[in-house]
Structure 1
């Protein structure tokens, strides 16, 4: 059966598209901690990098619309916490993360834990306004749960002394920072409930960093506050500081001093009641708006997946990828052309008339040298042969015989006389000796 007519047979493009939709729709938003490596920031303004741990890694892309909100410069080896959505880069089939936000791991991890616990407790109804206990209109005894050496306790006592000196105060000292502080705070709340000697409790401390205030974001403190039979006012940090305890408590005071004002009476107690109701309304409105904001974010993420900008992001990433491939191809093409030019230059140098003349001149010089050496060898050989021939000739030469005392007699015609009959009376004879000749007449 042809692949085009069989829906169970996938093309590569269809497979990557299906996997991308599966990742984006099923996984949704994820939080991830990892170490940055292979960081790249091309001219498009997008960021591409890898997040890794000791055993694995994943590719990431953060588009310029999101990375403009990052307050630090990412560097290789830096540990970060990212909020991202899973996706797939279809042209290469690369599984990747599309980063929405990024922050250093320490603060980011605490903020993430804060948001996760807040959402979970809100889902359980611990923040619901129906669970809030009303504060007593005229408290007869106030309990304070904080550090006995902290500034918050002295601020509370100063306000109570100024506004209502007759109001009794019971102090439940506890740690409000560091390891084990959350358990100590929960134990102090439990002790106050067991004694049941106060009408209202103020739980808090002075301002500090998110890490300093973290014990008031612990689940054990939140659940202990929710289970308390005594109304609790949360007075943690400054007005800008918000903790989980603020959401669970029956009332949130912006500062410890403000909490003391809420439980003390003066001539303006009616205004105080109004302020209490305003604070309740504020807390309820704030919680409502936070919940609506979470719903809006969820809907925005769903809309974002269908938004044209998502396609533009993918196409922009693809454009960056094509740009890198084009740059590599151009570099390779230039290198190949450069190598070709060098080879042609070398061949041209090899075929140059000047080089040919130099080679032939060198060959001619070598040939001349060889010819001279050959002539010298030939002359030496000829001289040697001549000397041998002369020696042999000298051995058989008549002159050698003459030197030993013999002589040769010839007629004037040059005929050598070897017999007596060759000589007549009156003939002139020439006798050769070793040195010279003797002329005689036959008589």
Structure 2
């Protein structure tokens, strides 16, 4: 296989451009400009170039050297008249293969090119394999599936939920096929009360897709069913091919009624399965899904009836017990009369006691008011004021006498103190006081005197006048 050549349906043409370094014939200069590569580095570069460029390739050829390892992986080679290449299909992918391949078979694979670094071998990593005879149909199926998927027809957000209660079921299928008989049989056995409306359509052949589209459009226009089952029995890829029609897929996506696709067997997948609101593996599974098992419903109804009966019985017993309890509590007329009499007697005693207590309280208040009134009479007030006046006079007299006595004692103390510090007392002890007559100043040691200055000397009982003559030196003897 050469890069850039057609390798099968859906192959992308890839151009590989190799940019060469400028020619230099000097080996020494080449060594300086470009370092030699290690083998692992070279393999890594080749792998980084090949793997991104050769992805999702559709390739046909003869299968040879097939080997199934204990790990579950498949190893084989794919060849034609002039070349061959190693291939590996790992366990996670080959479990979707519908048949066991054998040596010598013509197959079509979808694979990515890779390099096995341990040996440096170019190989293909296969993610899909099928016999080459149905490859064109399968390729068309995958291409349409990818197209509708990109448009969002398979998105879960677009799909409608089935109603909780389904009363009428619409079925788009062939009236003579096995699918309708399986569905009717299951509904009769499980839920015979369901209403079924059949919209006849061809489910195989050239005009099958158009017939299916017309039946679905009729069901959508009439809007008389709660859910629409699009179904047929199993068959080959060619038999089921009408359910891979693009226009049919778009009509199912636009259908206002919730749709169920139940085409073929569990291993069969069609475009209708992907675009419908719900996919179920078989017609019988679809019938079971939209129906309720009568046996289970009867068992549930019996259980509910028994629970209802038990509940009613318990409520009745509880009500009867409550009635007996209320009857026991209901008093007789004699008992009511007796209770009334006791209550009247109690009220009479309480009234008598209240009156007596009120009289005693009133008598006490009257006596208290009488005493207060007597205290507030004029004679009493005058007597009180006379006593208060006498008491105040006595207190005043006593206070005045005490004040006079205290003042006399204080005066005597002051007189004694005054006499102690009086100059006259000093004179009585033999001392004298001399003063200048003209200035009435006491004669001190520093008083300036002039001759003939008149001096007055006071003694205890006499006053002597004298004149200043001179100063003499003081004697200290």
The TM-score, its normalising length taken from structure 2, stands at: 0.44
> Higher Cα Rg: structure 1 or 2?
2
Point out the structure with the larger helix share.
1
The TM-score, its normalising length taken from structure 1, stands at: 0.47
Relative contact order (C-alpha < 8 Å, sep 6+): which is higher?
1
